[in-house]
Amino acid sequence: MFKQRLTDATGSLCHLAEIADINPETYSTKDNWEFVNYLDTSNITNGTIAEVQCIQPSQEKLPSRARRILRKNDIVYSTVRPNQLHYGIISNPLPNMLGSTGFAVIRSKRKTIPNEIIYLALTDPTFVEKMHQLAEQSVSTYPSIKPLDLNACVIPEPQQDDTDFTNAIITIFDSIASNNEENRRLAELRDTLLPRLMSGELDVSNLDI
């Protein structure tokens, strides 16, 4: 649906740098957070977060790459091997959440073009393949792009009659985020109860099911 919208766009096309900030906030050890919730590039794939590491800097060393401050609805986009799809939207950020410097963090600066619309453009398979080809040409140790390379992404400037379309996209992303959060809670409940059931600590033999 979004790809067709981009193809059929009659208005102007915006480059990413025109409508969004890239890496808008950087954490410093002088900020002295008591704890950090750290997201590495390998821990998010195609919008799904597998793990967030909670770190207390007073007790363990904070990774040197833990520098990108993450806010609600920020987009994280790995600059290493883009074809591995290590990207997503931080719909439900944890307190004191940091991302790796291996991410480009994108944050919209226009209310008319929300992060969800930008995310769809950045994750379109054609654009991902373009970034992958660019990464293969890099002289780095690993195939990688620079954050500013993402400026090759173009997003259609919404027209006045695009409000319903934009709101529909936001609603879909909100539903996905709610479902993911519910799945996470259910997984935690399963992991808590299953060992107790298997060990016999919890007796369910008298339940009338």
Q: What is the pLDDT of residue 160?
A: 62
Q: What is the pLDDT of residue 155?
A: 85
Burial 133-167 (b: 16+ CB within 10 A, else e): ebbeeeeeeebbbebebbeebbbbbbeeebeeeee
Q: What are the domain boundaries of the chain?
A: 2-195
CATH 3.40.50.300 given to domain 2-195? no
Q: What is the pLDDT of residue 176?
A: 78
> Which residue ranges in the chain fall short of pLDDT 50?
7
pTM, two decimals, is 0.82
Q: What is the pLDDT of residue 161?
A: 64
Residues with Cβ within 8 Å of 61's Cβ and at least 6 positions away in sequence, in order, are: none
